[in-house]
Structure 1
Amino acid sequence: MKTTPEHDQRIAEMTFASVYPHYVTKVEKKGRTVEELHQVITWLTGFDEARMQELIVQKVTFKDFFAQATLHPNAGLIKGVICGYRVEEIETPLTQQVRYLDKLVDELAKGKKMDKILRTP
């Protein structure tokens, strides 16, 4: 699925710190915890809680955030639609990675079981 260069640029320049509070609000509204959110982020990126906090304080862009991440080998198993895009069809790697994160947070908020979210056998 093609995204526009402007869309990709906007996502690349967005900071993780600006989106993180929205993730927290979304999952807590639905009865999930910040600890579960961190588990999902850690699974996808390899960042522990301390590293996540450093990246928030540094106000890194999503471009830098994912450049420093070690994407989980099963990240490619993340499928479905988020923000009007089918994540497995997004052609721009960074945009796809950000949408992977969005999709995982969405699944957490929707009450999916953690083993399904983390794509464990």
Structure 2
Amino acid sequence: MSFAGVYPHYVTKAEKKGRTKAEVDEIIHWLTGYDQKALKQVIENKTNFEDFFKEAPLLHPNRKLIKGVVCGIRVEEIEEPLMQEVRYLDKLVDELARGKKIEKILREGNK
């Protein structure tokens, strides 16, 4: 599955709840280390999720602090590494859409 195919759905979900594409991008930047130029390239290249995460410049170490349920499954209990990374991103977008403050979403101040 391509990241480019899912990305518009992340943006739509956030925008329906009054959030912005820029906030979705900020979450992605935090999680993966991609800057805006690299993120645009990933989307244009229709990069699949496996390569999206494998080639990420820097997966944020605090992503392991992401807890909760996505699609009825606790993200911290997912054993398959790629699926866990995808669900981390899903969870962050869910939190954004639910109105959580960006500082809390990005686990600022957590170690």
* TM-score, length-scaled by structure 2: 0.95
In 2, the alpha carbon distance for the partners of 1:27 and 1:37 equals 7
1:111 to 73, 78, 99: 99
Structure 2 SS opposite 1:74: helix
2:22 to 35, 45, 58: 35
1:45 to 29, 32, 48: 32
Q: How many residues align?
A: 108
Equivalent residue, structure 2, for 1:97: 85
Matches within 5 A, 1:38-77: 38-69=25-56, 70-77=58-65
Please state how far the C-alpha of 1:18 moved relative to its aligned partner: 0.4
Moved beyond 2 Å, runs of 4+: none
In 1, the alpha carbon distance for the partners of 2:31 and 2:54 equals 13
Question: Can you give the 5+ residue segments of structure 2 that lack an aligned partner in the other structure?
Answer: none
Structure 1 SS opposite 2:61: coil
Q: How large is the Cα RMSD of the aligned pairs?
A: 0.5
Equivalent position amino acid for 2:60 in 1 = H
Question: Can you give the 5+ residue segments of structure 1 that lack an aligned partner in the other structure?
Answer: 1-13
Equivalent position amino acid for 1:108 in 2 = L
Please state how far the C-alpha of 1:49 moved relative to its aligned partner: 1.0
Equivalent position amino acid for 1:24 in 2 = V
In 1, the alpha carbon distance for the partners of 2:69 and 2:4 equals 24
